[in-house]
Amino acid sequence: MRREPFDLTLPAGNGLRRGRTTGACATAAVKAALLLLLRGDRPMEVTISLPDRRFYLSVPVLGVARLGDGTARADVVKDAGDDPDNTHGAIIFARVRPNYTGAVRFLAGAGVGTVTEPGLRAPIGEPAINPVPRQMMQWAVEEALDGAPNPGFDLTIGCDDGEAITTKTFNPRLGVVGGISIIGTTGIVEPMSLAAYMASIEVYIRDALGGGAASAAYTPGKIGTAYARQVLKLPPKRIVQIANFVGFALDCTEQVLALENKRLSTLWVLGHPGKLAKVLDGVWDLHSNKSGMAMGAVARVAAQCGFSTLDVARIEAANTVEAVMDLIKNDPRASALWREVEDRTARLMEARLSRVERVEVRLFGLRGSPLGQSL
């Protein structure tokens, strides 16, 4: 299927400007460096394929140069749009050289971290480059070769001042050492965590609760959306992505129902425990700049669910909640633990909602698999 251009000049649904992920920037840098190596071109802009397989994205290139030893370097400036991204304005670079192994290898350059602990989406010892950006870079190699034999390439991805930037993120706590992570699941930064986005959430909530709705579902992101549609059979207008603003969304819900003198039978809140379990610590703005991580909250619940002192300590010391999932996945008490986290989180939310009969929380892993209750 022929790809279509993704137009970043069109605003997001909340009226804000979209941007490019670090993964998209790294991919563009790889492609620009390859075009110099393979064709002698010095592009000021390259196109890269996005993960949805429908769109491509045009990305400006800051510069591209030969370094010797068959190596080329290209630089791309990270533009996060209107999102308050710590890497906005950073220079993401790629150094590319043939390795004559027939394989694409990923290396961490200056300012990109290395994974040192389990629970992340790259193996220990590997550069902190997530699977989707790796796939995008593989496509960039294929596109630059344009059918020619692949000799194999070493792709060294870096970020100017990445070590300083990463101190503003959770990377040091996650076991990513030496710089930022190259992330992104769509290639596009959707602008979130802004006052204007909060205003748009209220509009979506008003729409979701209108027309005599019996139930609605709120999700911090895309995790849980498939459940809302396929299992709960909710129409799209009853599903609201509330980003990190759980408390704000609940308060909006109460205000809208009060203004219309209505009640809601069931509010579903669906998402990853790395976000939603923070509510157990009394946190209602889930942004990483406003809150800590959720392993301590999960550990407290585990202690009360009969897990041993050693297991509780291991849960609390895990570097991510995803690592906690791996840690207890074979434990017969795991499902009961996640159900208890769901129930306690729901009860805290219910305490803020006098006009909602029942809150139901459901937790999912990164791939969308249910952790606690399946219905």
Q: Give the pLDDT confidence score for residue 173 in this predicted structure.
A: 67
Tokens of 284: 């209602």
Distance CA 337, CA 47 (A): 46
Distances (CA, A) of 74 to 63, 111, 194: 6, 15, 32
* Strand-strand pairing, 111-112 and 179-180: parallel
Tokens of 107: 């290396």
Q: How many C-alpha atoms does 217 have within 13 Å on its Cβ side?
A: 24
- Per the prediction, the chain carries an average pLDDT of 91
Per residue in 42-64, pLDDT (tens digit) is: 999 999 999 988 999 999 999 99
Mean pLDDT computed over 255-272:
94
Tell me the per-residue pLDDT of 195-248, one tens digit each, with 9 for 90 and over: 556 767 887 898 889 878 899 999 998 889 999 999 999 998 899 999 889 999
Report how far apart, in Å, the C-alpha atoms of 234 and of each of 107, 226, 238, 291, 335 are: 44, 10, 6, 31, 25
Give all strands of the β-sheet with 104-108 in edge-to-edge order. 63-68, 71-77, 91-98, 153-159, 104-108
pLDDT reading at 298 higher than 50: yes
Confidence check: pLDDT of 251 > 70: yes
Mean pLDDT for the stretch of residues 349-354: 96
Domain ranges of the chain: 4-189, 195-363
User: Please, which pLDDT band fits residue 193 given cuts at 50, 70 and 90?
Assistant: very low
Measure the CA dihedral 51/56/61/64, to 10°.
Answer: 70
Task: Give me the pLDDT at residue 194, please.
Answer: 57
pLDDT at 33: 98
Confidence of residue 339 (pLDDT cuts 50, 70, 90): very high
d(CA 265, CA 360): 11
Answer for the pair 200, 13: CB distance below 8 angstroms, yes or no: yes
Strands (E), the chain: 4-5, 19-20, 45-49, 55-60, 63-68, 71-77, 91-98, 104-108, 111-112, 114-115, 153-159, 176-177, 179-180, 188-189, 215-219, 239-241, 264-271, 356-363
- Is the distance from CB of 189 to CB of 18 less than 8 angstroms? yes
CATH classification code of 4-189 = 3.30.2110.10
For 338, phi and psi rounded to 5 degrees? -65, -35
pLDDT of residue 281: 94
Greater pLDDT, 13 or 245: 245
295 closest CA partner among 322, 271, 335: 322
Q: What's residue 375's pLDDT?
A: 65
Cβ of 168: how many Cβ atoms within 10 Å?
Answer: 12
Helix (H, G, I), strand (E, B) or coil at 287: coil
How many CA atoms within 13 Å lie on the side-chain side of 337?
29
Cα 99 to Cα 12: distance, rounded to the nearest angstrom: 41
Per-residue pLDDT tens over the stretch 323-338: 999 999 899 999 999 9
Which tens digit of pLDDT belongs to each residue from 93-151?
A: 999 999 999 999 999 999 999 998 876 778 889 999 999 999 999 999 999 999 999 99
pLDDT, greater one: 317 or 201 = 317
- Residue 306: count of CB within 10 angstroms of its CB: 10
SS3 per residue for 14-41: CCCCCEECHHHHHHHHHHHHHHHHHHCC
Cα–Cα distance, 140 to 86 (Å, whole number): 26
Closest CA to 181 of 223, 222, 134: 134
User: Residue 334 has what pLDDT?
Assistant: 94
The answer to whether the beta carbons of residues 337 and 301 sit under 8 Å apart is yes
| Mean pLDDT confidence for 370-374 | 85
Q: Which amino acid is at 295?
A: M
